[in-house]
Amino acid sequence: MQQASEAIIEFNNTGLSILEIGHRTPFFIEVMEEARALVKELMQLDDSYDVMFLQGGATTQFMQIPMNLLDSDETAAYCDDGVWGSKAIKEASLFGKADVVASSKDKGYTYLNKGFSVPSTAKYLHITSNNTVEGTQYFAAPDVSVPLVADLSSDIFSRQMDYSKYSLIYAGAQKNMGAAGVTVVIVKKDILGKIKRPIPAIMDYRKHIEAGSLMNTPPVFAVYVALLTLRWIKESGGLAEMERSSLEKSSLLYNTIDSLPVFTSKIAVEDRSRMNAVFFLNDSNLEAPFLDLCKKEGMVGVKGYRTVGGIRVSMYNALPLESVVAFTDLMKHFSVVSG
């Protein structure tokens, strides 16, 4: 935050603010190239992949992915595991057929359906790696024979895994990678250029790759903040350290939930998200007093999503363990005073 704020006044002794440098100048091209290289280094991806920094948020990718990968007479497979997967399915249906091969809607999205098969004719399988609203997370990539596409908006750079199993990964920056305003898209280049549909130039991944993500003016400041965050992840110990910290924080919180009778989690234990813990008070009448206590003690943003309710605690990379310790101490205190 300090480095980013200083760059607003003057960037790298150039006499210019990061907000006013030209995006095609060597100053910013160096930022973009280092950011792309760090993404591939942290994920251990080779040169068969390319990295784009785009605008429009991850929501734009709901339609940009099928626009680039799915013809109107073809089918893509989708997992419906929550609000974001459902939105992606609706958008894909505008470009071809979206076949829902797995859904956990039958139990209120409180688990992940893993025993599903994908037709070999499907152009790709799309999953939402972590469901921020519902509190579930995939801990292993589905083993499929078609290209795997994943929305990693809320758990990107939080753990070690074999990212080469994915053909396309996308993520809004605002959870684990930086400031809102830029979306990273990581794509295996050999899946592109296989559809008959003409693609508007600004929506064509190949055009963005050719232009080095400089086809139009990128969100310069957001990309710079992403670069600073990627450097921090690497300097802190990389994805191994992010995963260790994530496990420590989430284990503390879930162990506290399970140990206090006043609280309950409806999520299948094996699918509990390390990023977003969604839980409830067994007595719904205690929810308002608990949230009032959270507000009084400066515990910000813990009210559950409007369609789910309850409590939601987000534990992204930047959240220190001390914050989770403070919150679990508050939970224990409330459990005592509420009787």
194 an active-site residue?
no
Residue position matching structure tokens 């993500």: 213
Residues 271 and 112: beta-carbon distance below 8 Å = yes
188 an active-site residue?
no
Measure the CA angle with vertex 167, ends 163 and 170; round to 5°: 75
- Catalytic residue from among 84, 155, 204, 249: 84
151 an active-site residue?
yes
- Catalytic residue from among 123, 175, 188, 249: 175
**From the CB of residue 283, how many other CB atoms can be counted at a distance below 10 Å?**
12
- How far apart CA 243 and CA 201 sit, in angstroms, is 38
- Catalytic residue from among 81, 151, 204, 271: 151
Query: Which residues 6+ apart lie within 8 Å of 246 measured at CB?
Result: 158, 159, 274, 275, 315, 317
Plot region of 261 (φ>0 → left; ψ -120 to 50 → alpha; else → beta)? alpha
The string of DSSP letters for 233-266 reads HHHHTHHHHHHHHHHHHHHHHHHHHHH-TTEE--
Question: 15 exposed, middle or buried (CB, 10 Å; 0-12, 13-18, 19+)?
Answer: exposed
- Please state, in angstroms and as integers, the Cα–Cα distance from residue 96 to each residue in 66, 67, 78, 279, following that order: 8, 9, 12, 37
Closest CA to 47 of 152, 161, 146, 187: 187
Closest CA to 68 of 168, 193, 183: 193
Closest CA to 29 of 301, 211, 176: 211
- How far apart CA 297 and CA 17 sit, in angstroms, is 37
- Please state, in angstroms and as integers, the Cα–Cα distance from residue 146 to each residue in 7, 123, 268, 310, following that order: 43, 7, 27, 37
Query: Which residues belong to the active site?
Result: 84, 151, 175
